[in-house]
């Protein structure tokens, strides 16, 4: 599997490392116990959670190309918010704890 577009610079600047990363990409993204669509939806959620707009754009396009619907994409993005947003709510609850560190 080829390097993602944002890592193409490795091909000419550090080809040995680029090949190693290509193997990691291939290992992670080749269908196995999870099919390609599921892996892409997970990657989409992770890119969204990390705030990578180019990643979300690219992976959403790839997910659609293997049959992901807008509803499936929306559900994956809801999961990203749920997993990432809950840490914000947990930290926020400290503002309302009584008797701790007052």
Number of Cβ within a 10 Å radius of residue 80:
20
Regarding whether 71 and 86 lie in a shared domain, the answer is yes
CA separation for the pair 3, 1 (Å, rounded): 7
- Picking from 5-9, 28-32, 44-48, which range would have the lowest pLDDT averaged per residue? 5-9
Task: Mark whether 85 and 68 lie in a shared domain.
Answer: yes
**CATH code, domain carrying 81:** 1.20.1290.10
Q: Are 71 and 41 found together in one domain?
A: yes
**Do 84 and 37 lie in a common domain?**
yes
Task: Give all strands (DSSP E) within the chain, no chain letters.
Answer: none
Range of the domain at 10: 1-30
Number of domains in the chain: 2
Band of residue 5 on the pLDDT scale cut at 50, 70, 90: confident
Same domain, 12 and 57: no
66-80 tens-digit pLDDT: 999 999 999 999 999
Whether 36 has a pLDDT exceeding 70, the answer reads yes
């Amino acid at each position: 599997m080829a390097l993602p577009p944002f890592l193409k610079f490795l091909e000419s600047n550090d080809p040995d490392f680029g090949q190693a990363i290509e193997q990691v990409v291939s290992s992670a993204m080749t269908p196995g116990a999870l099919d390609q669509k599921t892996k892409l939806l997970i990657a989409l959620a992770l890119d969204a959670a990390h705030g990578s707009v180019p990643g979300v754009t690219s992976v959403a396009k790839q997910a659609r190309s293997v049959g992901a619907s807008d509803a499936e994409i929306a559900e994956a993005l809801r999961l990203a918010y749920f997993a990432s947003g809950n840490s914000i709510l947990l930290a926020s609850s400290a503002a309302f704890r009584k008797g701790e560190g007052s």
